[in-house]
Amino acid sequence: MRCCYCLEHAGWWRRCCRACRRLLDVYLAHRGADMATILDCLVATGVPQHTIERFLDADPNGRGSVRDRIAADMTNQLLEALGQRPRQSVADVQRIRKRGGWTALDHRPRE
Ligand SMILES: [Zn+2]
């Protein structure tokens, strides 16, 4: 079977290859951390960069890519710190990304 993240050969009856399993463990252990911290931790696993990139862009469950989920977690932590109820979903992140508002992170996305 092919790995559901990086699409490399994962072995019989495995949805996920060994490298991506490690990346997933690191990501889950650091949920809510900022993107740079999580990226550092992913790189520290020794998994090749192109596999990390594929892992981040993968969307095996159709619930948004790992990258968008990290962004949603990050935003919710920030809103919580500001006393707002967390409510940024992965779908919101995808919508904002598609709108192209993130070319300037310090500006409001255009409606
Ligand atoms: Zn993989």
Closest-CA residue to 55 (of 29, 26, 78)? 26
CA–CA gap between residue 9 and residue 72 (Å, rounded):
30
DSSP assignment letter at 51 = H
Please list all protein residues whose beta carbon sits less than 5 angstroms from ligand 1, which is an ion: 3, 5-6, 17, 20
Q: How far apart are the CA of 21 and the centre of ligand 1, in A? A: 7
Whether the pLDDT of residue 104 is over 60: the answer is: no
Max Cα–Cα distance, the chain, nearest Å: 47
Q: Render pLDDT for 43-68 as a digit per residue (tens, 0 to 9).
A: 999 999 999 999 999 999 888 999 99
Q: How far apart are the CA of 98 and the centre of ligand 1, in A? A: 26
CA–CA gap between residue 87 and residue 46 (Å, rounded):
34
Which pLDDT score, from 0 to 100, does residue 59 have?
94
CA–CA gap between residue 13 and residue 46 (Å, rounded):
25
Q: How far apart are the CA of 43 and the centre of ligand 1, in A? A: 15
